């Protein structure tokens, strides 16, 4: 009898603890997935909050506050629930500081903290209404509706606007804003962002090459991909017509419309707003 | 000068606020198709058929960034896929990101594996590339 009296509270306690643990797991699972690993090379590693290191494989869920790191031959391509994609190049390390997304309103917040390496962000729904924040040892960047590539070294961070409305770079009270694709800003660690300059084509190509890597798939996989892309592109005749149409469309609304607002392209905002000035590119 | 700076800053902010989302502008039917393709890709990200289907519907919807993300992911599977690079070159051209477009088109054309029948359209696009920053190339 004594035994049963003692067992009941123990069982009750065990049940309560079990329920709490299950509840916690349930919450973690429900709130945990913010995206998924879409593509990898070799063995990129993710460390979810409170978890242990795990090799990211295609299909591995990614969580908020997860630390992602790559060795010299690793790469990872993540897709978030809002459609944002993040490609992490070799020898890189970063934390997904914040991801909040409401599919109903298609609004949210995304913040990333990168300590080293090369990576690319292609904005999804969130970036259409909010600025994606990227922090590095040298600067804080904000991307609005676009594509940007970053190179993060201990000595400096280089930010390139590949496409989009704006990329701001802020450090030590100074902000540089790029609104023309192809421009870059370099910020020495501990210093202030330099004036935007046209990204050297070789540097951009090298960054894109580093992000793509050097993987070689089996011949059958390559054939399958080429066939699928060919199907998307259409045959030579339709492709020719498509390209003619694209050229006409872009000629009708040339980028020079944006570039001619050259004075709008580069804004230097010093700490003292009275010193605000425009810099030509 | 101060007024000019304030005006330019305001103009930049206003320009920066304009982020039209082509998906929201699409017809309800196309939005459903887009959302279904995206969810399918989230749930089966390693399935190349699914990824390509999403890229296609994203392109059709005008979400060229979404399509770019999908094709870029395929380059991690194999980095020497001239048709994928050609598609990326076209998409970046549509986005008026000409420097990046040029890199991918040149990469596609440099590959002997690019089929002859699509070389001409690719060369045409490269030839018509606006010289936005060509003078800065090294």
Gap between the Cα atoms of A201 and A144, Å rounded: 23
Q: Which residues of B touch A123 (CB under 8 A)?
A: 65
Low-confidence ranges of chain A (pLDDT < 50): 1-12, 14-30, 256-281
Answer yes or no: do B87 and A58 touch at CB < 8 A.
no
Phi, psi of A213 (to 5 degrees): 80, -155
Close Cβ partners of A94 (under 8 Å, ≥ 6 residues apart) = A67, A68, A69, A88, A112, A113, A114, A115, A117, A119
Judging contacts by C-beta atoms under 8 Å, the chain A residues touching residue B97 are 147, 162-163, 181-182
- Per-residue pLDDT tens digits for A33-54: 999 999 999 999 999 999 999 9
- Residue B132's pLDDT is 59
Which of A141, A225, A247 should we substitute to test contact with B (largest number of B Cβ atoms within 10 Å)?
A225
- A135/A144 Cα distance (integer angstroms): 15
- Identify the H or E element spanning A195: none
The residues facing A119 across adjacent strands are: A88, A150
A121 touches B68 (CB < 8 A): no
Tens digits of residue pLDDT in A163-201: 998 999 999 999 999 999 999 999 999 999 999 999 887
Which of A128, A246, A259 is the closest to B21 by Cβ?
A128
Which burial class, exposed, middle or buried, applies to B51 when counting CB atoms under 10 A from its CB (0-12, 13-18, 19+)? Answer: buried
Asked whether the beta carbons of residue B5 and residue A240 sit closer than 8 angstroms, the reply is no
Q: What backbone phi and psi angles, to 5 degrees, belong to A74?
A: -100, 155
Q: Which residues of A153-172 are buried (b: 16+ CB within 10 A; e: fewer)?
A: eeebbbbbbbbbbbbbbbbe
From the candidates B25, B48, B54, B65, which should be mutated to test the interface with A, based on the most A CB atoms within 10 A?
Answer: B65
Distance to chain A for B27, nearest Cα, Å: 17
- Read off the pLDDT of each residue in B35-49 and give the average, rounded to a whole number: 96
Output the CA torsion A209→A213→A217→A219 (10° steps).
30
Q: How far is CA B107 from CA A166, A237, B133, in A?
A: 27, 22, 18
Q: What pLDDT, on a 0 to 100 scale, did the predictor assign at position A262?
A: 29
User: Tokens representing A60?
Assistant: 């591995």
pTM equals 0.81
Q: What is the ipTM of this complex?
A: 0.83
Choose the closest CB to A75 out of B66, B76, B86: B76
Q: What is the DSSP letter of B115?
A: -
């Amino acid at each position: 009898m004594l035994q049963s009296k003692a067992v009941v509270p123990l069982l009750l306690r065990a049940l309560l603890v079990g329920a709490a643990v299950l509840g916690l797991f349930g919450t973690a699972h429900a709130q945990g997935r913010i995206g998924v690993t879409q593509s990898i090379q070799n063995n990129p590693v993710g460390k979810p909050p409170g978890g242990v290191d795990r090799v990211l494989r295609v299909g591995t869920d990614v969580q908020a506050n997860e630390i992602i790191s790559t060795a010299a031959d690793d790469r990872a391509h993540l897709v978030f629930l809002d459609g944002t994609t993040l490609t992490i190049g070799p020898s890189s390390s970063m934390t997904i500081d914040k991801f909040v997304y409401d599919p109903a309103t298609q609004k949210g917040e995304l913040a990333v903290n990168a300590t080293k390496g090369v990576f690319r962000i292609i904005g999804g729904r969130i970036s259409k209404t909010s600025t994606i924040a990227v922090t590095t040892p040298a600067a804080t960047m904000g991307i609005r509706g676009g594509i940007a590539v970053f190179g993060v070294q201990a000595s400096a961070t280089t930010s390139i606007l590949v496409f989009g409305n704006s990329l701001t770079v802020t450090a030590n009270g100074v902000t540089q804003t790029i609104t023309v694709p192809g421009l870059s800003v370099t910020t020495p660690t501990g210093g202030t962002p330099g004036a935007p300059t046209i990204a050297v084509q070789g540097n951009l190509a090298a960054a894109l090459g580093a992000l793509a890597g050097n993987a070689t798939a089996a011949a059958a996989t390559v054939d399958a991909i080429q066939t699928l892309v060919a199907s998307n592109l259409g045959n030579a005749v339709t492709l020719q017509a498509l390209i003619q149409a694209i050229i006409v469309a872009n000629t009708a609304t040339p980028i020079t419309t944006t570039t001619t607002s050259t004075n709008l392209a580069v804004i230097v905002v010093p700490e003292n707003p009275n010193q605000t000035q425009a810099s030509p590119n | 000068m101060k007024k000019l700076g304030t005006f330019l800053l305001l103009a930049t902010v206003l320009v920066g606020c304009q982020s039209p989302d082509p998906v929201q502008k699409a017809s309800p039917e196309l939005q459903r198709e887009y959302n279904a393709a995206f969810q399918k890709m989230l749930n089966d990200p390693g399935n190349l058929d699914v990824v390509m289907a999403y890229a296609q519907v994203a392109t059709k919807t005008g979400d060229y960034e979404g399509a770019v993300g999908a094709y870029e992911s395929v380059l991690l599977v194999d980095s020497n896929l001239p048709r994928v690079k050609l598609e990326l070159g076209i998409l970046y051209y549509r986005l008026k990101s000409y420097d990046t477009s040029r890199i991918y088109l040149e990469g596609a054309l440099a590959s002997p594996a690019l089929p002859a029948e699509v070389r001409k359209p690719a060369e045409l696009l490269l030839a018509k590339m606006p010289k936005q920053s060509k003078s800065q190339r090294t």
